[in-house]
Amino acid sequence: MAGHNKWSKIKHRKAVVDKRRGKVWTKCARALMSAARQGGADPSSNVTLRYAIDEARYANMPKDTIERAIQKGVGDIDAESWEPVRYEGYGPGGVAVLVDALTNNRARTVTDLRLIFEKHGGNLGNAGCVGYLFETRGRIAALQGARSADSMFEIAIESGADDVQAPEADDDTEPADRVWTILTRPAEFQVVKDSLEKSGVAILDAGLAMIPGTTVEPGLDVATTLVRLIDALDDNDDVQKVHHNALIPDEAMAD
């Protein structure tokens, strides 16, 4: 049940990059507007909005900014319309890539993404070309804190986690700062997250994600090009999330 992955390192790296470029809040605002427009402004009856609010909070978005984005979504203030769309393609080395976007102009978005894929050794594919390789899971990144690794594992399992992935041993990281990845079934995501928070576990990030059923291990050169592709996709204003099935070596993630 336990295992290792590099998601937390990649997530942390991208969070730093995105915040420096001032994109995180813009992406969160669009997600809030889209969710509110589709399902209303009440998070108790709009699960998508509830998840979008949580992600905005994890990004330290101010409460009034969150509320303003929701009101824009339902048309109370300067209505804006953003529709969700998923693109599928292949990165360098045939790595499977899914891109979740919010757009108000599909023609613009697909053109931009096609150029980004081609520039970085990949190509945008047709709907369904790689989507079958992934499944929707709840994914929670949580700090170990003062508790032991065994205690962290037990809390996650008792909270209803479907899979618990321990952080890799790292002499440069104190145990309290180590990030665990906790996976859940989609229907149980909110229950598990709430249970972890009630147990005092600090959550860095949480949401639904596309998890690959199988992974590939590209060589360093291919992995480095793949990281550049992911960075370029993340830099696009319409892109919300990028999912892939590659195990990226640390060396490829060096700035």
User: So what's the pLDDT on residue 5?
Assistant: 47
Cβ count within 10 A of residue 71: 17
Helices (H) and strands (E) in the chain, counts: 8, 9
User: So what's the pLDDT on residue 8?
Assistant: 47
Q: What is the pLDDT of residues 91-118, one digit of tens each?
A: 999 999 999 999 999 999 999 999 999 9
Q: Residue 251, CB half-sphere, CA atoms under 13 Å: how many?
A: 6
Q: What is the pLDDT of residues 120-155, one digit of tens each?
A: 999 999 999 999 999 999 999 999 999 999 999 999
- Tokens representing 193 are 């997250």
In which residue ranges of the chain is pLDDT below 70? 1-22, 76-80, 169-172, 254-255
Start-to-end CA span in the chain (Å) = 33
User: So what's the pLDDT on residue 15?
Assistant: 53
Taken in order of first residue, the domains within the chain and their CATH numbers are: 15-73 (1.10.10.200)
pTM score of the predicted model: 0.81
Going by the DSSP 8-state scheme, the letter that residue 216 receives in this structure is B
Going by the DSSP 8-state scheme, the letter that residue 94 receives in this structure is G
Strand pairing partners for 165? Answer: 3, 181
Going by the DSSP 8-state scheme, the letter that residue 86 receives in this structure is E
